Amino acid sequence: MREEKSKHKILIVDDEKSNLDILRRLFRRKYQVLSAESGEDALDILAEHEVALILSDQRMPGITGAVLLERAMQTHPDAIRMILSGFTDTEDLIESINSGQVYRYVVKPWDSNDLQQTVDRSIETYELTIENRRLLSELQILNASLEQKIQERTVELQTAYDDLKQTQAMLVQTEKMATIGTMAGGIAHEINSPLAAILSNSQRILRFPDDEQKHIQSATLIEKATKQCKAIVESLLKYARKSEVETEEIDINAVIIETLSLVEHHLELKNIQIVKELSEVPSIRHSFVELSQVLTNLIMNAQDAISANDAEVGKIIISTAVADDKISLSVADNGIGMTQETQMKLFDPFFTTKDVSKGTGLGLSIVAGIVERFGGQIEVNSELGKGTTFIIRFSNKGES
């Protein structure tokens, strides 16, 4: 048997005491029965109790059963509302039943067994409604906390992504600076000769203060040497600058020549021979600085591959060509070559086979990024111990 505490409360309302007694006796075993002799008393009881079911007589002095149930619907929406009525009351009740204020009506005189069953079933409905509501609110709470978690996680991910982007941008710039460091030897050499010319010609002017002829000759040479220095510094600045990438119509051969002027000396020092096989190619829309960065990275890799292959005399062949609708640029070396495994991964960011101090593994991922951005393709052919060729192809939009 249920504990008194866990029994549902039901409210029975009838102005006939004898009916209340019968009903109380009928239900008290299973339910906690509250009773009232009028609709008004019933409302007072409802003000203080949660009830699972209200069973009310229709015809009473004061407010009718239907009116009582209509009011109860506002305050106790989940409670099951039942009316006890004689056949003659049905007319009055039709509206209440239709508008949902009355869940069931039981015709007087009632059969105790039937009534008991009807009430039991109604209580089951009540329990289901309450359980549904509880589950729904639990679900809403879970949903809300899930939504909050998703939001928090999204913010975390966004922050991580922003950090990563920033780090990546920094790395790209660092990589560029490292390449410039490598170029420094070459630049110093390039600048050294015009500086020597400037120095010797200024000394000549000072030594012959009255020789106008010599002054003109020396000043002309100084001007030429100064312009040379200026050009070298400018191309270096252009390379190092972080500003937005500018695209323009460029001649790939010119990019090769200018880039080589920065690295050639460095390669000579390592005894590496540079061969240029340049064909006349149509101009392409690209960024001068970025294409120069691509070339520098490929040349630096070639140089490292040659150094690792100490038996050979080093040679790097840079060529340009037009075939069908493609313009190609290739950098071939006779360095150490690559295994299949390396070839599979070489464009991955941070993939390197070099010492930590030597390579970041970013070079080729930057190269691939730049080439792709300008609609080109990059391809590699390599043979272990023999050498490697990188070929970049751009579509030749201008000509047929």
Ligand X SMILES: Nc1ncnc2c1ncn2[C@@H]1O[C@H](COP(=O)(O)OP(=O)(O)OP(=O)(O)O)[C@@H](O)[C@H]1O
From the list Mg ion, ligand X, none, which binds 346 (C-beta under 5 to 8 Å, kind-based)?
Answer: ligand X
Tell how strand 32-36 and strand 9-13 pair up. Answer: parallel
In whole angstroms, the minimum distance from the beta carbon of 229 to ligand X comes to 29
Contact 10, 53 (CB under 8 A): yes
Residue 39 binding target from Mg ion, ligand X, none, CB below 5 to 8 Å by type: none
Six-digit token string for 337: 């070559």
Which partner from the list ligand X, Mg ion, none does 353 bind, CB cut-off 5 to 8 Å by kind?
ligand X
In the region spanning residues 271 to 290, those forming contacts with Mg ion, defined by CB under 5 A, are: none
| Site pattern 242..261 for Mg ion (x: CB under 5 A) | --------------------
Instruction: Please check whether residue 192 is in contact with residue 229, taking contact to mean a CB–CB distance below 8 angstroms.
Output: no
Binding residue for ligand X, selected from 51, 54, 232, 362, defined by CB under 6 A: 362
Contact (CB, 8 A) for 126 and 8? yes
Shortest reach from residue 258's CB to ligand X, in Å: 21
Q: Which two tokens stand for residue 51?
A: 């009830």
* Choices 60-68, 109-117, 213-221, 358-366; region in contact with ligand X by CB under 6 A: 358-366
Instruction: Provide the minimum distance between the beta carbon of 332 and Mg ion in the complex, in angstroms, as a whole number.
Output: 16
Interface of this chain with ligand X, residues 310 to 349, rule: CB under 6 A = 333, 335-338, 342, 346
Binding partner selected for residue 53 from ligand X, Mg ion, none, CB under the kind-specific 5 to 8 Å limit: none
> Could you say which residues in the range 285-314 bind ligand X, by CB under 6 A?
297, 301-302, 305
Which stretches of the chain bind ligand X, using CB under 6 A?
175, 297, 301-302, 305, 333, 335-338, 342, 346, 351-354, 359-365, 388
Which stretches of the chain bind Mg ion, using CB under 5 A?
301, 363
